[in-house]
């Protein structure tokens, strides 16, 4: 019987506990041989250190996911050359072997060798200094409703872990300069003597749609969002965020002057949101597009990504997250019985050697799968 594998060191404690209590792991040996390596380019993203490319082919040459030119990848040691007999052996992680790459004084090197799906490339000429920071998690779902539900469940399951909900970047930025009790703009239906019954019915229908969309999309509604928490933090620390508070009051009382300083005022709000996402929050719940926007605007580097209800996402929605978070470990959760492409995205990732472990227990229904 295979021994229990090592859970990624950068995974949060509650993820490790959940995996230990509710799941059984079985390691898989999916590294392709030389004849299979030609099909690796079809997979959207891989674990580069687990795929032995023939003829010293680099990961960047085989991957179909373009590398982000604005992302500064951390240096890694080149993968060890594997023999043909070692390809079919069981994948074993040895955490006692120190990394060859040097790190800055006082910063613990990353010794985790598994789960770095689409990890950092090692073909840079200039080394990048490692950054000491705490582990951060992104919980990604296809719909806003699922994201709201995930935020509520995570906060109830682990109240000591700071979890926030993130809307699209534009919604969060708009909410940074809007009162929390803002109401949608509705068509007045009273006091209009010339309005016919048909006009009033049409106005009520439009107002209903406006309220529904406002409740669904406004960052001031539903689970606590990053912009709502940012406003609370600024009010609690007025000296530290005086520039943002001044811009906020200017937006409410002197909108013309606010528009004259629009770029600078937006920068104050962007700095505050970046501070929340990078230094405060531990788990952010959002859609794939929202996470892509957050990474693009703030440079946030998440360490662990949970893709919830992955069967509801298209391949583009899944791969956009993987391409923007090349250093992160990924956990895909979904209904494997739903119709999929032939071969499916999961099968293509398995053939590329990007899948390290399989979860064999259905923790929701309690039914064991062979």
Q: Write down the pLDDT at residue 210.
A: 83
pLDDT at 192 over 90: no
Q: Do 47 and 123 lie in a common domain?
A: yes
Domain span holding position 92: 13-157+282-359
Q: What would the pLDDT profile of 40-68 be if each residue is shown by its tens digit?
A: 334 343 333 333 333 433 333 333 444 44
Has residue 190 got a pLDDT over 50?
A: yes
In a domain, 81, yes or no: yes
- Same domain (yes/no): 195, 135: no
Helix axes 169-176, 226-236, angle to 10 degrees: 30
Number of structural domains found in the chain? 3
Let me know if residue 236 belongs to a domain: yes
* pLDDT beyond 80 at 147: yes
Q: Is there a single domain that holds both residue 116 and residue 77?
A: yes
Please list, in sequence order, all residues whose beta carbon lies within 8 angstroms of the beta carbon of residue 204, skipping any fewer than 6 positions away. Answer: 189
pLDDT for residue 96: 44
Identify the CA nearest to 163 among candidates 282, 277, 279, 11.
282
Same domain assignment for residues 342 and 202: no
Distance of CA 132 to the CA centre of its chain: 19
pTM for the whole structure:
0.56
165: in domain: no
Query: Which CATH number characterizes residue 316's domain?
Result: 3.40.50
Sheet hosting strand 283-286, strand order edge to edge? 163-165, 283-286, 137-140, 304-307, 329-332
Q: Per the domain annotation, does 6 fall within a domain? A: no
User: Do residues 21 and 152 share a domain?
Assistant: yes
Higher-pLDDT residue of 357 and 7 is 357
Do 36 and 151 sit in the same domain of this protein?
yes
Q: What is the mean pLDDT of residues 240-253?
A: 94
pLDDT at 234 over 70: yes
Same domain, 306 and 227: no
Distance CA 150, CA 145 (A): 9
Cα distance from N-terminal residue to C-terminal residue, the chain? 14
Domain boundary among 240, 262, 278: 278
Same domain, 249 and 346: no
Residue 97 sits in the same domain as residue 150 = yes
| Model pLDDT for residues 116-134, shown as the tens digit of each residue | 333 333 333 444 343 435 5
Shared domain for 293 and 331, answered yes or no, is yes
Q: How many other CB atoms are there within 10 angstroms of residue 290's CB atom?
A: 22
Residue 370 resides in a domain:
no
Whether 89 and 225 map to the same domain: the answer is: no
Whether 203 is covered by a domain: the verdict is yes
Residue 2 located in a structural domain:
no
Does residue 116 share a domain with residue 210? no
> Looking at the domain assignment, is residue 314 inside a domain?
yes
**Averaged pLDDT for residues 10-36:** 54
Distance CA 331, CA 304 (A): 8
């Amino acid at each position: 019987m295979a021994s229990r594998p090592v859970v990624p060191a950068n995974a949060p404690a509650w993820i490790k506990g959940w995996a230990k209590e509710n799941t059984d792991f079985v390691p898989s040996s999916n590294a392709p041989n030389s004849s299979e390596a030609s099909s690796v380019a079809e997979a959207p993203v891989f674990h580069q250190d687990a795929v032995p490319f023939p003829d010293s082919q680099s990961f960047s040459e085989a991957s179909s996911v373009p590398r982000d030119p604005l992302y500064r990848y951390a240096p890694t040691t080149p993968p060890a050359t594997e023999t043909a007999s070692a390809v079919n052996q069981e994948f074993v992680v040895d955490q006692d072997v120190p990394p060859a790459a040097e790190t800055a004084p006082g910063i613990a090197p990353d010794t985790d060798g598994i789960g770095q799906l689409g990890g950092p490339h090692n073909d840079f000429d200039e080394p990048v200094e490692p950054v000491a920071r705490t582990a951060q998690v992104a919980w990604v779902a296809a719909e806003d409703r699922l994201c709201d539900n995930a935020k509520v469940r995570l906060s109830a399951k682990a109240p000591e872990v700071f979890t926030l909900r993130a809307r699209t970047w534009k919604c969060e930025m708009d909410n940074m300069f809007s009162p929390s009790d803002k109401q949608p703009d509705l068509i007045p239906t009273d006091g209009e003597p010339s309005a016919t019954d048909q006009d009033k019915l049409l106005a009520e229908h439009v107002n209903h749609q406006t309220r529904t969309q406002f409740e669904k999309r406004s960052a001031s509604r539903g689970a606590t969002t990053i912009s709502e928490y940012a406003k609370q933090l600024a009010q609690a620390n007025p000296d530290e965020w005086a520039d943002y508070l001044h811009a906020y009051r200017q937006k409410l009382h002197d909108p013309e002057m606010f528009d004259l300083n629009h770029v600078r005022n937006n920068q104050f709000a962007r700095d505050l949101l970046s501070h929340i996402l990078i230094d405060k929050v531990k788990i952010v719940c959002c859609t794939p597009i929202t996470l892509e926007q957050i990474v693009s605007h703030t440079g946030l580097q998440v360490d662990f990504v949970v893709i919830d209800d992955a069967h509801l996402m298209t391949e583009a929605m899944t791969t956009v997250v993987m391409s923007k978070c090349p250093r992160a470990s990924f956990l895909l959760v979904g209904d494997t019985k739903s119709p999929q492409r032939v071969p499916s995205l999961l099968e293509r990732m398995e053939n590329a050697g990007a899948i390290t472990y399989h979860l064999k227990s259905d923790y929701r229904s309690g039914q064991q799968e062979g």
